């Protein structure tokens, strides 16, 4: 009895540092964010309680809706590319041959470099004067004069960023899909081959259904990642033109930091966190159901 109580205490002692850390640097800021969102505070003047004003102000703020709408649009465009593209790549490289193994490893390389750094790299490639994309398109005779990809036209900017981010993160989904495809028992594949099913038929009737759980989970991670997009927009377009490519996190960042509207920033952060939570719950529910 004594020994087990002592073990309980010892266990709690080992757990304590992590517990205190999460309490101080995740839970407390969360509570603080709730309190901040009900106040107006710019650090210079003392905080002033304003009730739900920051929230009503957000819903009446045109840029709030522009940012939210743009973030959803970006997510809606890039997610199918990452999922379908990642899955097709996984189908191509999941059998273990030296070439496919090497291809797998190479597709994954951009995943390990930083998004900020890769965005700078692509900003250079897309540059109208110094960029090699315009140079190559001109050399191939596909365009007559350089295209200004980033920061002047919303759609061009969006697609340029989607291209660069797809290059950067497509390997993430691929590597998880490969793991899922390789986990399919080989007897199942052999049975369908004996049945004379072709590759695509096998993919549709066996591979896809058996990897559905992974597909849902990767979609969840990917959608949430896109909803929280910041680095690529901060670096490649700085939200231009006219803040039309300022994503939700970008909008929060602008209000909280350069403008130091901490209360408003906190209210926007809370709304953002609530939206992300909603997506997490919906998709987790979907995953649960597919598991049963």
* Interface with other proteins in residues 65-84 (CB under 8 A): none
Nearer to other proteins, 78 or 248 (CB): 248
186 binds other proteins (CB under 8 A): no
Rg of the chain on CA atoms, in Å: 24
Least Å distance between CB 201 and other proteins?
A: 7
214 binds other proteins (CB under 8 A): yes
Q: Which of 36, 78, 90, 147 binds other proteins (CB under 8 A)?
A: 36
Residues 6+ apart with CB under 8 A from 213: 180, 287, 290, 291
Q: Which of residues 256-275 bind other proteins (CB under 8 A)?
A: 256-257, 262, 265-266, 269-270, 272-273
96 binds other proteins (CB under 8 A): no
282 binds other proteins (CB under 8 A): no
Stretch in the footprint of other proteins (CB under 8 A) among 51-59, 69-77, 150-158, 223-231 = 223-231
Nearer to other proteins, 218 or 246 (CB): 218
HEC per residue, 156-224: HHHHHHHHHHHHHHHHHHHHHHHHHHHCCCHHHHHHHHHCCCCHHHHHHHHHHHHCHHHHHHHHHHHHH
Nearer to other proteins, 78 or 169 (CB): 169
111, 168 contact by CB (below 8 A): yes
26 binds other proteins (CB under 8 A): yes
103 binds other proteins (CB under 8 A): yes
87 binds other proteins (CB under 8 A): no
Residues 6+ apart with CB under 8 A from 155: none
**Pairing mode, strands 39-40 and 48-49:** antiparallel
C-alpha count within 13 angstroms, C-beta hemisphere, residue 13 = 6
44 binds other proteins (CB under 8 A): no
Q: Which two tokens stand for residue 146?
A: 């350089």
**What is the DSSP secondary structure assignment for residue 47, as one 8-state letter?**
P
Stretch in the footprint of other proteins (CB under 8 A) among 60-68, 74-82, 152-160, 245-253 = 245-253
64 binds other proteins (CB under 8 A): no
As a whole number of Å, the end-to-end CA separation of the chain is 40
165 binds other proteins (CB under 8 A): no
């Amino acid at each position: 009895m004594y020994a087990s109580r002592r073990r309980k205490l010892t266990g709690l002692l080992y757990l304590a540092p992590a517990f205190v850390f999460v309490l101080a640097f995740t839970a407390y800021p969360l509570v603080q964010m709730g309190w901040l969102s009900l106040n107006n505070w710019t650090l210079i003047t003392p905080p002033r309680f304003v009730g739900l004003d920051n929230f009503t102000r957000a819903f009446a703020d045109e840029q709030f809706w522009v940012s939210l709408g743009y973030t959803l649009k970006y997510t809606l465009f890039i997610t199918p590319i990452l999922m379908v593209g990642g899955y097709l790549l996984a189908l191509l490289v999941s059998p273990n041959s030296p070439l496919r193994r090497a291809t797998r490893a190479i597709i994954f390389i951009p995943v390990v470099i930083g998004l900020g750094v890769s965005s700078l790299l692509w900003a250079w490639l897309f540059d109208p004067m110094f960029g090699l994309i315009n140079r190559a398109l001109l050399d191939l005779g596909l365009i007559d004069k350089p295209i200004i990809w980033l920061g002047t036209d919303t759609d061009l900017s969006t697609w340029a960023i989607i291209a660069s981010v797809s290059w950067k993160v497509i390997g993430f989904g691929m590597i998880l899909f490969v793991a899922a495809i390789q986990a399919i028992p080989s007897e199942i594949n052999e049975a369908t081959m004996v049945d004379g099913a072709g590759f695509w038929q096998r993919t549709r009737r066996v591979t896809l259904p058996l990897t559905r759980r992974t597909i849902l989970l990767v979609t969840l991670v990917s959608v949430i990642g896109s909803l929280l997009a910041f680095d690529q927009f901060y670096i490649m377009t700085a939200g231009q033109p006219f803040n039309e490519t300022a994503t939700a996190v970008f909008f929060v960042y602008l209000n909280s930091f350069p403008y130091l509207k901490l209360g408003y920033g906190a209210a926007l952060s809370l709304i953002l966190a609530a939206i992300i939570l909603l997506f997490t719950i919906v998709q987790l529910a979907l995953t649960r159901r597919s598991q049963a």
